[in-house]
Structure 1
Amino acid sequence: ADHIPLVVDQNPQVPSRIKFLIEGTGEDPAPTLVAMARRLVAAGATALAMPCNTAHHFAAAIRGAVPVPFLDMVALSVARAAGLAGKGGTVGILASPATRKIGLFDGAFAGAGIRPLFAEDDAAMLAAIRRIKAEGAVTEARAALRAASEELLVRGARIQMIACTEFSLIADAVANGTETFDTLDVLVDAIKDFALGDAPDQPGICPQRIFV
């Protein structure tokens, strides 16, 4: 087993990304995330990882605030998708509607020549995420993810990417016949590679690694 030294900042005071990005009613999470990043570096962290896809909307602010590498889950996951789907391929995205609204993956997918597809029922996806946050991996959330995955498969996305850590808890609910990977697993692989000194030059590994 790999025993990775970790410094963790679990902060329940991070403002809601959904309220800020989708509803337009919440506080900007960026200052809180930047403060967390600085605390982690002060505590001895030599690289940063953030296991929330939607929060990567604020990655630039975090990168600009600290002198250590930021392991970018978005770039790393799109690179994994490109390896599975190939240039010109289609990848289904099982994620918060916020990721589509803010175009979180758009630039990376365009650069890789991949066509992303999102589930069409934003309300069902958002309701499932909120249900999991409140109650865990309940049947209704599993049914919603299954329906979204089946819809994406019908539309041509056999390769599917779970890009929400709530959906990571019910990943086995995806449709039969899909090849699915989880962005959280991709990030974990990058953390292990970095900590063990095996990280290759790849998208998402910031060139600031000289500070490590």
Structure 2
Amino acid sequence: MASHRRLGVLGGMGPLASAQFMCRLTELTPARRDQDHIPTVLWSDPRVPDRTEARLHGGADPMPWFARGLEALEAAGCGAVVIPCNTAHGWHATMAAASRLPILHIVDAAAADLRRRGVEGGPVGILGTAGTIAMGLYQERLAARGYACLSPAPQDLEGAVMPAIAAVKAGAVRDAHDPLVAAAKALVRAGARAVVLACTEIPLAIRPEDEAPVGVPLVDTIDALARAALAWARPQAARRPAGLLEPS
């Protein structure tokens, strides 16, 4: 079923995560031919200033770069935007006010995926950047849906999670695997009934086969955002049973 809705992707934060989003959007689309896929425009600009540095340490403001990308996606005829970067959603309200395009929220996509996985309420672990954790992006938005959030201990966040994310950005994806799995397990020991991979670099290092050793559902925010994009692009299909939106 072809879609006439054109999706905009505000990416480059980082480039590998944006590329993975495009791959997963393609793989999750139920398609039998090229024309069945979602028309998509990717704006991948890695020059956007670091979001955590901006929020926590007074670094350069990324908002002018966000605005430039949104203007380009609007000019390209996109009808909605997704941003495969969790920390960038700290500027979601400002971006939404500055653009005529609706911007799908990655936390809402993660909440929908928690429900899809059968996790309703209870403590949920948030494995993300220091910026995402400090801004309360998940804590506030998930609390409104009945979820309590658990964050990594400071020593895990600074000693394992942030270095692992930096390793992925530097291309050393394998080096990030063990520290991230250990941090996820620590959240489970603290009581998490699921762990949200709340930085789009993290699903590049943690794989689906890691879910069994961790012991709880792992919510991949790249996949969750791709599913939200599909639901926007194909609202009729989204009202069908969930299995019809999965790859064959």
TM-score by length of 2: 0.74
- Of residues 71-80 and 55-64 in structure 1, the stretch that sits farther from structure 2 once superposed is 71-80
Deviation at 1:30, TM superposition (A): 1.1
Following the alignment from structure 1 to structure 2, what is the Cα–Cα distance between the partners of residues 86 and 147?
A: 24
* Partner of residue 184, structure 1: 222
* Partner of residue 209, structure 1: none
* Partner deviation per Cα, 1:47-88 (whole Å, 9 max, x = no partner): 11111000001111111122222111112212433563323x
**Among 162, 166, 175, which residue is 1:130 paired with?**
166
**Among 180, 188, 197, which residue is 1:153 paired with?**
188
Alignment of 1:3 with 2:41, yes or no, is no
Q: Which runs of 5+ in 2 are unaligned?
A: 1-30, 240-248
Q: Which runs of 5+ in 1 are unaligned?
A: 202-212
Contact 1:163 1:184 in 2 (8 A): no
Q: Matched residue of 1:64: which SS?
A: helix
Q: Matched residue of 2:173: which SS?
A: coil
**Percent identity between the two aligned chains:** 35
Aligned-pair Cα RMSD in Å: 1.9
TM-score by length of 1: 0.86
Q: Matched residue of 1:135: which SS?
A: coil
Contact 2:127 2:199 in 1 (8 A): yes
Give the partner amino acid of 1:16: D
- Paired residues for 1:1-212 under 5 Å: 1=31, 2-24=36-58, 26-81=59-114, 84-87=118-121, 89-120=122-153, 121-123=156-158, 124-139=160-175, 141-172=176-207, 173=210, 175-198=213-236
* Partner of residue 14, structure 2: none
Following the alignment from structure 1 to structure 2, what is the Cα–Cα distance between the partners of residues 194 and 50?
A: 14
Contact 2:168 2:205 in 1 (8 A): no
Deviation at 1:199, TM superposition (A): 7.4
Contact 1:38 1:65 in 2 (8 A): no
Indicate how the Cα distance of structure 1 residues 111 and 182 shifts in structure 2: closer, same or farther if over 3 A, else same: same
Contact 2:164 2:179 in 1 (8 A): yes
